[in-house]
A = this chain, B = another copy of it.
Amino acid sequence: MAVYTDVTEQDLAAFLGRYDLGSLSSYKGIAEGVENSNFLLRTTAGTYILTLYEKRVNRGDLPFFIGLMEHLAERGLSCPLPVHDRSGNALGELAGRPAAVFTFLDGMWTRRPSPEQCRAVGVSLARMHESARSFPIARRNGLAPADWRPLYDSCAGRADTVEPGLSAEIEAELADFEANWPADLPEGVIHADLFPDNVFFLAGELSGLIDFYFACNDLLAYDLAITLGAWCFEPDGSYNVTKGRALISGYVSVRPLAPREYEALPMLCRGASMRFLLTRLYDWLNVPDDSFVTKKDPREYLRKLRFHRGVREASAYGLDRAEVTKGSE
């Protein structure tokens, strides 16, 4: 949950005066997003989301994020559409922060994903990958494998306080990634954070994707691995092969995997687990307890990492090679 910056009505009304959005009826801080401050706006023209970009977001990345949402929405992917002011700008400034207004997306995120929802997420993820092919801006992944060791080094001395032996286990994994991470797979713009709270459903259908603030250029199949890890494990830590099969089959129904993407899945899934294990470990050790951010247990991703380490063949995720590569280049 997050409202880091409060806004006065006077400042907000002045900001909105540059848009054709009618007059302000109400605005309320909402518990959505952990990087930025978000408000639900009601104006005489409708309902919108106002985002104030806080310090953790690099201002230089904003044209990528906002441009990407606009690019995807124009191609029929349901996601928040940046609203332009009368001068054509989608990005302004409010309360000393970069700020943007977005269309409001109806729908609810699911706390208990079903296999059908997993399939729909796979379909949407692949559509996002396909729609973003023509997006002209690129953004480096700030949490790519090359960033994992420095991130780990910053908390290595205390890792074993979270779980005995964790340092050695991470060290061994990092060495393996450094030697064996797949380098020649198809790349493109990935969402990189497609967790259940970033996907809305309405009346049984996927109604939209939100929160593109980790989006970047990286391996497309790595995004599938992140999404698989976020959707297809049960609260008890077990992998749900029915959901995994549904998610992957949804994905490949839009974008078949190349055979080498399929074969790389266990390694990519281990890497995706490492990425979330490390950021959660860092936050666990470094975020003050009086922060507004609820800290997530890094051990959830340690368990997922161990599961993926035990996977010898990508077929363990639920689909065999022929099913996922049919129609691939």
Chain A residues at the B interface, C-beta cutoff of 8 Å: 1, 3, 6, 8-10, 23-32, 40, 42, 47, 104-108, 110-112, 200-203, 288-292
Check A27 against B292 for contact (C-beta < 8 Å): no
Closest to A106 in B: B25
Residues of chain B contacted by A26 (CB below 8 angstroms): 104-108, 200, 202
Closest to A24 in B: B108
Specify the main secondary structure of chain A where it touches its partner. loop
Cα(A52)–Cα(B210), bound, Å: 26
Q: How near does chain B come to A79, taking the closest CB pair, in angstroms?
A: 15
Q: How near does chain B come to A101, taking the closest CB pair, in angstroms?
A: 16
Could you list some 7 contacts between A and B, CB below 8 A?
A: A1-B29, A9-B111, A26-B108, A27-B108, A29-B30, A289-B289, A290-B291
Q: How near does chain B come to A235, taking the closest CB pair, in angstroms?
A: 13
Cα(A19)–Cα(B52), bound, Å: 36
Residues of chain B contacted by A104 (CB below 8 angstroms): 26
Q: How near does chain B come to A296, taking the closest CB pair, in angstroms?
A: 14
Cα(A305)–Cα(B117), bound, Å: 58
Cα(A25)–Cα(B107), bound, Å: 5
Q: 16 more A-B contacts (CB under 8 A) besides A26-B107, A29-B32, A290-B291? A: A1-B3, A6-B111, A9-B108, A9-B110, A24-B108, A25-B107, A25-B202, A26-B200, A28-B31, A28-B32, A29-B31, A30-B30, A30-B31, A40-B40, A289-B289, A292-B292
Q: How near does chain B come to A200, taking the closest CB pair, in angstroms?
A: 8
Cα(A289)–Cα(B289), bound, Å: 7
A-B complex: 8 closest residue pairs judged by Cβ atoms = A29-B31, A289-B290, A25-B106, A9-B108, A8-B111, A3-B31, A28-B30, A26-B106
